[in-house]
Structure 1
C-alpha cells in the first residue's frame, strides 16, 4: 500500500493525562521516519496553556503537534449518559475518538492512540495496513478474552464473539468509511435511545457497531500489559491498560520503556514523585474499583438492556 502523504495521529486527553501523553508522544516521535510526514492532533475539552506549551515543545519538523478544543455542547449530545470508565469515573475523553471522522474531513484514514501507550516502532508501518471496506482496525482485548466471566459479558451484553471483542486504545480508523456510514450519528442514536449500561462505553459501542467490519491487527500493535496476548518479538505499541500504570506501580510489564521515554520529557520529576508517593489508600482504591468492575461485568448482561437484546428486538446496531 502506498504511504500516505501525511499520517494523522490522534489523542484525546485532559490536564490529568498531560504527563502521560508527553511520554507517549516522546516515544512516538523517537520512532518516526525522517522521510515521512506525520501530524499529531490532541483533542481536549480542558487543557491549560502551560500543558499545551510543554507538550507542543516535543514536536519536530516532520511531526508537528496541534491542539483541537472540542466545543462545550458536545456533552449535551449525550442526554445525561452516566456510564463510567472501568466502573471508576465519568470522563468525556473516552468518547472523543468516536467523532474524529466528522471533525477532520480532510483525512481518509488516521490512527488513534490512548495516552497510556508507548510506541517502539514507526507508526507509519501501522498506517500502511489496508483496511479495505472495514471501518476500523484493532487488536482483541486480552482482558475480555482471558476469563469466562468477561467472555460472557462480551457475548451477552455486547453481542460479539469474545475472541473478536477489540480494545479501543489503539485504533486504525477508516475515516472516509466512518463518515459515509454516518457512524457518529448512529452511535448517538443508540446511546440516547437505550443508554446501555456498559463497562467500557466507547469501546463497547465500537465493538457493537463495527462488528463484522473490523480488521484484526497483530497483537504486537496493542500489547496490553494486563492479560497480554502472546506475541513474537518486541511489541510495536505497549498499552498500560486498566489499573496497572507504571507511574503508580513499579512492577508493571514494560515499565522500563515508559521510564526511558519519560527521561526525555520535562514531566519526568513529577512522574517519579507520583510513583514514589502512590499510597496504600490509592492501592486499596484500585483494588476496590477492580472488584466493582468485575461485579458489573457479571451483573450487566442479566440486569440491564443489552446490545444483544436490542438486536433481538429488531434494532440495527451493526453498520
Structure 2
C-alpha cells in the first residue's frame, strides 16, 4: 500500500486523557476495514513513556503505526494565545499540523474524547478539491444564532467574519487539506489569527475565519453533538431552533451515528454511543471497557 493510500489521523491529548485516547483508537481500529492501514499522529506535551508504550502496542497489534510528537518546545509559540473557558493548550495543537507534517497532504483530526462507530476510510477519502477543510455544521451554534443567544450571530458576522453564520463548523472532527493550508494559510497565519484577539472558541473561531467559503460540509453523523447534564437543554431546545435543514441533518445523525463527542453517561438515550469524558473529568466505567489497555 502506497503512502497516498494510507489513512492519516491526528489527535492531541495530555497524559490524563491517555485512557480516552486509547478508547478512541480502539473504536477506530474495530470499525475500519482491516485492509486500510492507519497512521496515527499523537500530539502531546506530557504523555508518559508508559502510556506511549500502551498505545504503541495497541496500534501495532492492528498493523497500523503510531508516531508521538512532543510539542513541549512549541509551547512558547502558543503562549500569546489567550485560552477561554475550560480550554487547554492542547486545543491549539491542530493549528500546528500544516508545518508539523510537511510530507502529508491530508489528515483527519479527531478530538481525543470521541468514539468512532463508522469506517474512517469513508470519511478520509472525501474529495476536498481546493477547499481547506471538510467539517460538520454545528447545530448548537446554529440554534443560538437563530434566537437562543442572538449575540453569537452578531459575533460570528462581525468578529469571526462569516457572511453566513450558519456555516459555522465544529472542529472536533476536521478533515484538513494540509497541502492547501501550507499554500494559503500556513501555521504562521493560523497562529497570528489565533493570537490577534481573545476568541470565544479559540481553535474553532480561528479555523472558521480562515476556511470560510472553502469548506466541504460533511454529514453531521461524523461529529454528532450530544447532550450532557440533566437538563438536555441543547437537544430539546437549542438544536430545535436551528434552521430546518440543520436540525433535520442532526435528527438523521442521531440514527446514523459514525462518531460522537461528550454526552451524559447516565442517560445514553437513543444514541448508542458514549464518550470518554464527563463535565467533571471523571472516567465513566463504560470507557474502561472500550480499550483492553485500560480495562477495569
Length-normalised TM-score, structure 2? 0.79
Task: Confirm or deny: 8 A CA contact 1:225 1:252 kept in the other structure.
Answer: no
State the SS of the aligned residue for 2:40: strand
Matches within 5 A, 1:110-189: 110-147=107-144, 148=147, 149=149, 150-160=152-162, 161-189=164-192
The alignment status of 1:48 with 2:48, answered yes or no, reads yes
- Report what 1:251 is aligned to: 267
Separation in structure 2 between the aligned mates of residue 152 and residue 111 of structure 1, nearest angstrom: 30
- Report what 1:88 is aligned to: 86
Separation in structure 2 between the aligned mates of residue 17 and residue 111 of structure 1, nearest angstrom: 19
Give structure 1 stretches of 5+ with no counterpart: 270-319
State the SS of the aligned residue for 1:230: helix
- Report what 1:8 is aligned to: 8
* Shift in Å, 1:255: 6.3
Task: Confirm or deny: 8 A CA contact 2:260 2:273 kept in the other structure.
Answer: no
- Report what 2:224 is aligned to: 223
Task: Confirm or deny: 8 A CA contact 2:268 2:274 kept in the other structure.
Answer: no
Separation in structure 1 between the aligned mates of residue 123 and residue 273 of structure 2, nearest angstrom: 23
- Report what 1:26 is aligned to: 26
Task: Confirm or deny: 8 A CA contact 1:3 1:128 kept in the other structure.
Answer: no
The alignment status of 1:206 with 2:203, answered yes or no, reads no
* Shift in Å, 1:230: 2.3
* Shift in Å, 1:32: 1.5
Task: Confirm or deny: 8 A CA contact 2:194 2:203 kept in the other structure.
Answer: no
Task: Confirm or deny: 8 A CA contact 2:115 2:273 kept in the other structure.
Answer: no
- Report what 1:236 is aligned to: 258
State the SS of the aligned residue for 2:119: coil
Among candidates 81, 86, 94, match of residue 97 of structure 1: 94
Q: Matched residue pairs, number?
A: 256
Task: Confirm or deny: 8 A CA contact 1:140 1:219 kept in the other structure.
Answer: yes
Cα distance change of structure 1 residues 69 and 189 upon mapping to structure 2, 3 Å threshold? same
- Report what 1:265 is aligned to: 292
State the SS of the aligned residue for 1:9: strand
Give structure 2 stretches of 5+ with no counterpart: 228-233, 236-249, 276-285
The farther-off stretch of 98-107 and 220-229 is 220-229
* Shift in Å, 1:117: 0.8
- Report what 1:288 is aligned to: none
* Shift in Å, 1:256: 4.7
* Shift in Å, 1:39: 0.7
Cα distance change of structure 1 residues 61 and 266 upon mapping to structure 2, 3 Å threshold? closer
Task: Confirm or deny: 8 A CA contact 1:113 1:171 kept in the other structure.
Answer: yes
The farther-off stretch of 42-51 and 147-156 is 147-156
Cα distance change of structure 1 residues 178 and 256 upon mapping to structure 2, 3 Å threshold? closer
Task: Confirm or deny: 8 A CA contact 1:113 1:169 kept in the other structure.
Answer: yes
The farther-off stretch of 32-41 and 127-136 is 32-41
- Report what 1:39 is aligned to: 39
- Report what 1:279 is aligned to: none
